[in-house]
Amino acid sequence: MLKKILLLLMVSFATIAPAGSAQAAIPWAQIIKEAIKRVVKAVDLLIQRRQNAVIKLQNAQKELENTMAKLKLDQITDWVKKQRDLYKEYYDELKKVKAVIAYYFRVKEIAQKQVLILDEYQKAWNLFQKDKHFSAAELYYMQKVYEGMLDETSKNADLLNLVVKSFSTQMSDAKRLEIIGRAATQVDKVYDELSSFNHENKVLSLSRANSEFDAKLVKELYGIQ
């Protein structure tokens, strides 16, 4: 039902939208993409630093284990206890670092899907503007729909940036997970809406083909099998 409503709205816009608006660009899409890429770059740097920390902790653990294995534990009980406490500290710290790395990878995964959204939007929008089956008013409507999706993507980018910065603040793990979860839900929602909207527009264009040759051109334009 929602898809039908979208298509009906698109047609209705043909009677009210200004014809000169069809070729209007959405220039801030690239700005959003660059912002997201900066988030990914920052996360990559943080991951590298944390992974280096993991290596150092693992090496320290291994060295401590080797030292303890060579000792007569019954003769130096107090020393061994101290070293075991130290080992536990290494182990606990290692768990914390690995947990943070998991956060980073999740943030990067979400950010990469946002870049995919922007790529898919730009690809589809460029093709729709070349499609003679859509009027200028219909393209104007598409533009407005895309602007809404880009606005959501921009907000999600802000959430991810907040998560990255949170690792240098006192934000709790629970709050950090809440923000990551919210960003993940939103990016999935926008991606699904974008995919559905693009598909419906392609199907609509194909339905307007007035000959087999015209239909073939539409399929080639959109890569429809």
Q: What domains can be seen in the chain, in order of their start residue? A: 2-42+102-222 (1.20.1410)
pTM of the model: 0.72
28-69 and 136-166 helices, crossing angle to 10°: 30
Given a contact cutoff of 8 angstroms between Cβ atoms, the answer to whether 72 and 197 are in contact is no
Which tokens sit at 23? 């070729």
pLDDT at 135 over 80: yes
* Better pLDDT: 200 or 65: 200
Q: 3-class DSSP state for residue 146?
A: helix
**Least reliable range by pLDDT among 36-45, 75-84, 216-225:** 75-84
Per-residue pLDDT at 18: 41
Contact 156, 40 (CB under 8 A): no
Least confident window among 63-67, 148-152, 174-178, 198-202: 63-67
Residue 80 confidence (pLDDT): 61
> What is the pLDDT confidence band of residue 124, given thresholds at 50, 70 and 90?
very high
